[in-house]
Structure formats: C-alpha cells, structure tokens
Amino acid sequence: MKATLAACLAVLASIAMPVHAAGHLADVAIVDRDTGQPLQTYYRHGEYWVAGEPGARYSIAIRNHLGERLLAVTSVDGVNVITGQNAGWDQSGYVLAPWEGYQVSGWRKSDYQVAAFAFTAAPHSYAARTGRPQNVGIIGIALFREMPASAALTAPAPPIANGAADAAQRSELAQDRSRSQIASQAARAAAPAAAPTPAPALGTAHGAREYSYVAHTQFQRRQWHPDEIIRIRYDSLSNLIAMGIVPANRYAGARPSPFPSTEGQDYVPDPPPYDGVRVR
C-alpha cells in the first residue's frame, strides 16, 4: 500500500521526547509549538490525557523505538490527518525509519503543505465543522511493523490494507471491539463521578497553512491488526481538574507576581540608615 514518508530531516533529528511519553514501539507526545515543550501527560482511568490551551498550536511527536521501519496511521478527533477520512487502520500514515522521529503538525493538504493543528472550542474544530463531532477530543496513533523483505515476496497482502477482510478476520475484529467496549464500560463504572465541566470541551482547528514536505514510499504491514494503538485524550486544564484527571491542589498556592522585587511599593524607597561610618 502507499504511505507517506516523513522527510523534514532537520526537525526529525532534533525531537527530544519527554520522560512520560506514551507508547512502547514508539514514543508519542503532544508538543506545544510555541514553547517547543511537550505537554504534561496524565494517566488516569486507563487513559492518557493532556491539557491544551485554546488557540495554542501543537504537534504530535512520534519517535520510532525500533531498528526497523514503522507505519504510524494518525488520527485527530476521529479524522485521518493525511486523507481527511473518518479514521481507520487501513488508511495512509507516516512511515518512520529506524530510530527516526517526526512531528505531525497539521492536517495534510498536499506533499508540501499542512493546515496547522491548534486547540479550539469543540464546535469550531475541523471534525465538527465537517459534520463529525462524535470523536472530538482524542488523538490516535495505530502503529504497524513492516513485513520482512523475504516474507513480503511470497506472503499475500494484509486484507485490511486492501480494504476488505474475510469472515474470520471480521469476526476477530468484532471480538476485539467488543472486548474494548466492555473494558471501557468497566473503567467508566469504576471511575468516580466527574463534576460537570466548567468550560466548552476542546477540539482541533483547521489552522493556518504551513510548509511541510513529505515523499511517498511503499510499506507492507506485517499483520492487518495494529501492533500497538496509542490513544491520548485532551481537554482544557480547567475541565481536566473538574473531571478529576488533574488534582485541583496541584495548582494551589501563593499567587505569582510579575514584579516580585517591588510588589506593593509605589515609589523608590529610602536607603538604609548609616551604620556609623560617615560618607564624605
């Protein structure tokens, strides 16, 4: 199948992943593009969460941990970031060389351009504006290992990559989804009741156009099912506190001052009194 190969070499070489990045086959983190720093990742109720700020641009930083190529099929708000389709495992993704990293910074518009990711109120998100608000607030990366070259010469193409699955595979997929739904329901039942969120939920906007070059390559998946799926949910900090994801007392404490050396002082103070030494 055809996939997209990340080719921004200067960016690829400079990505530093945080200690708490999600993933095993690859590290995945959400990076604030204005500061260059990864957002703090929280793990709660069996899910990863990050707090976004409305208007802030972000990227999805992915670094391959393996000495072989990986395919990262990436979705934001349930939408494939390359094709704009409702996201599915069998779609196009970014191919990472061994040990390589890449920052997915926007909705791909061409081989040379993306529309930047930026946090925004959910109704203004790209997914909501295109009639797909159901999955706003989640980022997904489905990772696939590559079929070894010797096996690829004789093995048939993975059914999902060809857009169809036989009855046995469809049954297995249905069982996987059923198990996932049962686990999600159990996690929600075990979690404490969350307070109503005080602000509108966040989504991802279709931002300004930016230069971002990619090339194309061929990639044959080792299996039709992803080797790993990484899910990262996001919302505003106030909403995460209200939901119990981030402890409220984490941000309690003294109110910061922009000018601590002169707080409460209107004019230049007098000097201290002489200590017995007369100045001439």
Tens digit of each residue's pLDDT (9 = 90 or more) over 64-100? 999 999 999 999 999 999 999 999 999 999 999 999 9
> Does some domain include residue 109?
yes
> Does some domain include residue 78?
yes
> Does some domain include residue 277?
no
Q: Is 90 left (phi over 0), alpha (psi -120 to 50) or beta?
A: alpha
> Does some domain include residue 81?
yes
> Does some domain include residue 263?
no
What confidence tens digit (pLDDT) does each residue in 137-167 have? 999 999 999 998 865 443 333 333 333 333 4
Residue 274 is classified by DSSP as P
Confidence of residue 184 (pLDDT cuts 50, 70, 90): very low
What CA–CA distance (Å, rounded) separates 95 from 82? 12
Structural domains of the chain, count = 1
> Does some domain include residue 260?
no
Mean pLDDT over each residue of the chain, to the nearest integer: 77
What CA–CA distance (Å, rounded) separates 82 from 28? 18
Model-level pTM? 0.70
Name every residue whose Cβ is closer than 8 Å to that of residue 222 and which is 6 or more positions away in sequence. Answer: 144, 145, 146, 147, 148, 158
Name every residue whose Cβ is closer than 8 Å to that of residue 250 and which is 6 or more positions away in sequence. Answer: none
**Percent of the chain surpassing pLDDT 70:** 64
Q: Are 204 and 118 in contact (CB under 8 A)?
A: yes
Q: Is the pLDDT of residue 204 over 80?
A: yes
Q: By residue range, what is the domain housing residue 205?
A: 2-248
